[in-house]
Amino acid sequence: MSWDVIGMLALVAFCAGFFDAIAGGGGLITLPALLLASVDPISAIATNKFQAASATISATVTFARKGMIEWRDGRFLAISGFIGGASGALLVSSIDQRYLEVCVPIMLILVAIYFTFSPKLANETRRKRIGILVFSFTVAPILGFYDGIFGPGVG
């Protein structure tokens, strides 16, 4: 990979990080950029996951310092999300690269279309609908699995 491409990817990563911090969706910027730079899909997904994990750790530390994390409830979310994410990562690493080269761009387009046309949540619709334990053992592992196998759009 040439220094020009590395420089462009660094610029894209900076912009995606800035955008991700404000509104989320940085993976929808970095993953296509990596694929356009001829990075193989598994490496592109892994690089995107490393960036997302770094951002998540940073956000967790920041929220923890401000006392904004309910550790008792969060542990169930973290464990089930981690199990789902690890399962997704193991699965994607076993999928043939030729298949991923076709599927990943299609998935990126579908996620972008979904977020472009999906209704935005109003504050009234953000109320709790299920308990934390039910969420932890149903929704969290599914989101973790999707995040592990692909990722963009989860945050």
Question: What's the total number of domains in the chain?
Answer: 1
Is pLDDT at 65 greater than 90 in this prediction?
yes
| pTM, two decimal places | 0.79
What distance lies between CA 39 and its chain's CA centroid?
18
Query: What does residue 96 show for φ and ψ, rounded to 5 degrees?
Result: -60, 135
pLDDT in tens, 98-124: 999 999 999 989 988 888 888 776 555
pLDDT digits (tens, 9 = 90+) for 70-106: 888 888 998 999 999 999 999 999 999 899 999 999 9
Q: Domain span at residue 113? A: 3-149
- The alpha helices in 24-131, defined as continuous H runs, are 27-36, 41-65, 71-94, 97-117
Higher-confidence residue: 8 or 129? 8
Mean pLDDT for the stretch of residues 122-137: 76
In the chain, the percentage of residues whose pLDDT exceeds 90 is 37
pLDDT score for 155: 64
Strand, helix or coil for residue 63? helix
Please check whether residue 154 lies inside any domain of the structure. no
Any domain includes 84: yes
